[in-house]
Chain A
Amino acid sequence: MRHPTDGTLRRLLDEPAGVAEADRAHVAGCEKCRVALAEATRDADAAADSLRVDAATDVDAAWERLSRAAEHHPRATTRAPRRWRTLLRSPAVAAVGVAAVLVGAGAAAAGDWLQVFRTERIAPVTAPEADLVQLPELDQFGDVVVTEAVDIRPVADATAAAKASGLTVPKVGALPRGVTGEPTYHAGARASAVFTYRAAKAEETARARGRTLPPPPPGLDGSQFRFTAGPGFAVMWAAERPFPALVVARAVAPSAYSTGVPFATARDYLLSLPILPANVAAQLRSFSSDGTTLPLFMSVEHMTSTATDVGGVPATLLTSKDETLAAVVWLEGNVATAVAGPLRGDEVLAVARGLGPR
């Protein structure tokens, strides 16, 4: 008879009843398996020792704490605006918000919305995490009003996702090891927000950080910028888990529009502010002239980016340094596609390169 696997031996330690009678009988009479079992026992005991911890809890006190917190985080009507705020606040963030303002180019004519930024390229901006956390949030410079809230809903299938987003939902070829089952589909309409620059608010932000701002260029105070992104969809495997095993997402990439402000002036002013980390400002300045590069903020401590390609299209591969997370993102026209998951870089690339038309 073949020797039972290491996994079977391991289970024998915890749940002997879960192991087939034939395997148990084999182990009892097999010297090799008994040695392997002894090794498994040693490792299991050592792990139990290493992981031992006193975790006695006071459930009542914890429940009270959660009730208070949940009251402040109702999930009802405030949900959509909060998502926008969260989006604009997280460090990865700034990507769409501050960045679109900072790298937008061209002078806008008064009156109508004029496109000042469209995503044609994605480039990583790397900085120590401490600097990214310090990046100012858009609402520290003015007012952010959500005009079309982010509203991502589950949809029935690929056809429904394509219909809701107006985008092609690609067929996913071979799945990486460990990713199984049927995916769920989610789609969202276009989202947009209007940002109004407020000189007084910007000064307040600067003062809170012990800085003073140079006087703003004429016309900047009260001028407006509109950001849009989407529509889009996401295909997720194991969606009811907090962290899906694989996500394939596609969306119309962000654009920014402006009314009545000489944009180059606004951009130069914002980039000169003493509250932007110098290394971040320098990187943004380096591609601020074209108004077509979407910065992807990432911390040098955790992430590495590599230039690659997907079907001949330039792409950016991001991998976490502890090899627990990878994502590849690329643009075709104004449509951005990302494949991401708790996987290795070569695994997300294989999925990306294996996407086929449906």
Chain B
Amino acid sequence: MNNSSRIKALAVPVVSVLAGLILGAVIMVVSGYSPVEGYQAMLRGAFGRTYNIGEVFRSATPLILTGLGFSVASTAGFFNIGLAGQALAGWISAIWLALTFPDLPKIILVPLCIVIGALAGALWAGIAGFFKAQFGTSEVIVTIMLNYTILYISNHLVRYVLTDNKDATPKISENASLRTEFLRNLSGGSRLNMGLFLALIMIVVIWIFMKKTTVGFEMRAVGMNPFASEYAGMSAKKNIVLAMMISGALAGLGGVVEGLGTFENLYILDAAPAIGFDGMAVSLLGGGNPIGILLSAILFGTLKTGGLKMSSVDIPNEIVDVVVASIIFFIGISFAIRYIMDKFSPKKGEV
């Protein structure tokens, strides 16, 4: 990669973010709100106090994990739109385990919950991967359907299995929680938790896995050209299922962090967790690159956390969702713009 293409690669997300924020401002002006006031409130809500900064990183944590999950699947050529459901699968199983064995020592219980959550996510995504590999069924449709299936299963479990007709499970025990006294004090009492370190570790693990291992190489090869990889002796079927399962495991971890860190319980949900689609947005903005994902997760954490403060100046915080959607829209169409730029610009220095 030469310098000018590196700048170009950075220019697209930066321009998209700015364009998204500007569009948000335009909508605020048209609806009779002051965008300056709005964005000021957002900044206060994100960075005003130590507590807010802690919350920014708290909300970025699951997005890093689901974002990584989306990128693994898309490297292998699959569109995992079911991150939300897979995250919920991880969330449920971690909470279930934590509530069943509340007295296990923390050093055993927390890792156990994390592993079970990742497995549940992997399994839920694996269904879609298996059908895709075996029958060619569209993973987009199957994962969407699985999102709704797990949503109703989860609500059923909360209401009739984990509790007696209540809207939320009891809080998990201290032994299962990802929150620590240290992080709480450090971040002014926010819900920032050990999940952040888990997410940072996974960034490194996934980077090494995709770039430095044979399996990772095969996955990238299958994503680029399934026929050529098949011809080279790689099993496309195996890689499809594996990529979906790793993707689902990461999403499951995102759910575990929500369950054991952010909320410390599970409750009746109206829709599958937002970290699913937001993670997809994070990955698209980050260009599927681990550092890009980290940065865009922090950006989205800032928007989401800061956005809550916008209601203090009477601006509905849903404007943040509109901004996020527009950013992805610009990313979506700027791939095309870059393509056109590459096609028509004279190829200097490369010949």
The answer on A and B forming one complex is: no
> What residues of chain B have their CB less than 8 Å away from a CB belonging to chain A?
none
